[in-house]
Amino acid sequence: MCEYSQVEYACGHLRFIVRCWCTKYQETQKRCRPNIVAVEYRFHENCSDCKVSSSPKTHTFFKKPRVEKYRVQRTTSSASSISSPKKDKPAES
């Protein structure tokens, strides 16, 4: 069986890293069931999916301006009969 080490990161994600491949995998290139032989805790770092890159991405500098889409307002014959609610006027004394 292939030997794996389980790595737990500060973000809570788990990764399974191959320590060595078995002879069956070397011959057939088909993976066996993982045999976890060691557990590593890396609470001082996040996994590669959760890491924040220190250098800015190039596409952030070249963003296209947002194009506003205009909505078409539909007019119906029943819309003219609907009126907005009127506020109560204070009583005159």
- pLDDT at residue 91 above 50? yes
- Identify whether 40 is part of a domain: yes
pLDDT of residue 31: 85
pLDDT of residue 54: 47
- The number of distinct structural domains making up the chain is 1
**pLDDT confidence of residue 61:** 54
Residue 77 lies in a domain: no
Q: What is the pTM of this model?
A: 0.50
Dihedral sign (CA 14, 33, 4, 52): negative
Residue 69 lies in a domain: no
- Enclosing domain of residue 7: 3-50
Q: Are 2 and 25 in contact (CB under 8 A)?
A: yes
